[in-house]
Amino acid sequence: MKHHIRTIGSLLCAFSAAYLAGCAAPADPAAMVPAHASVCHKFNHSVGLSVTGGQNTNPMWTSQVSSEDFRQALEMSLQRSGVFSRVINNAGADYQLSVMLVRLKQPLAGFDMTVTAEVTWKLTTNSGRVVWEQTTNQSYTAKMGDAFAGVNRLRLANEGAIRESIRVGIERISELSL
């Protein structure tokens, strides 16, 4: 009888720990769109996008940012900022913006979780000439008050780091003379 009680107790503890910890959720593209980017110049040109380097989230592990979610957030951000007149999804764009998520530096645990996104940006003309290329490193910290569960704080920190990267990328593109 004592063995069954211990087994049931162990199962309840494991279930409670899993419930409190939660499952890892992927980044939300809408949460990665900056509320505002300071745009110096707006260009009457179209841009095509490609985003690589992201990873899909494994619910049993840690929150990540997929390439597709990053691409959606970047597309929404470019449209909102108006830095380019159109964002199109074909090879006929005036410019091509290639973005690679090189690394998400994530903590293993903590009360305040800071994530740093290393992102490489490359803007080329439709003929392939490189107009601008730069690597950004942007960080964001999600605090204990932002979310109780660590997996949720990590997701918030991921989204914040990508949001800051997108803001900086758009601002730097808008400083160019195209």
Locate the domains of the chain by residue range: 23-174
The residue that leads in pLDDT, 108 or 154, is 154
The predicted-structure confidence for 69-120, as pLDDT tens digits, reads as follows: 999 999 999 999 999 999 998 778 999 999 999 999 988 787 889 999 999 9
The predicted-structure confidence for 4-17, as pLDDT tens digits, reads as follows: 455 444 433 333 34
pLDDT at 150: 67
Q: Are 170 and 40 in contact (CB under 8 A)?
A: no
Tell me how many degrees the CA angle 105-106-108 measures, rounded to the nearest 5. 140
pLDDT at 18: 39
pLDDT at 5: 53
pLDDT at 13: 38
| Distance separating alpha carbons of residues 97 and 61, to the nearest angstrom | 31
| Domain 23-174, CATH homologous superfamily name and number | ABC-type transport auxiliary lipoprotein component (3.40.50.10610)
Q: What is the model's pTM?
A: 0.82
Q: How many CB atoms lie within 10 A of CB 112?
A: 13
| Distance separating alpha carbons of residues 50 and 97, to the nearest angstrom | 6
Tell me how many degrees the CA angle 48-53-59 measures, rounded to the nearest 5. 120
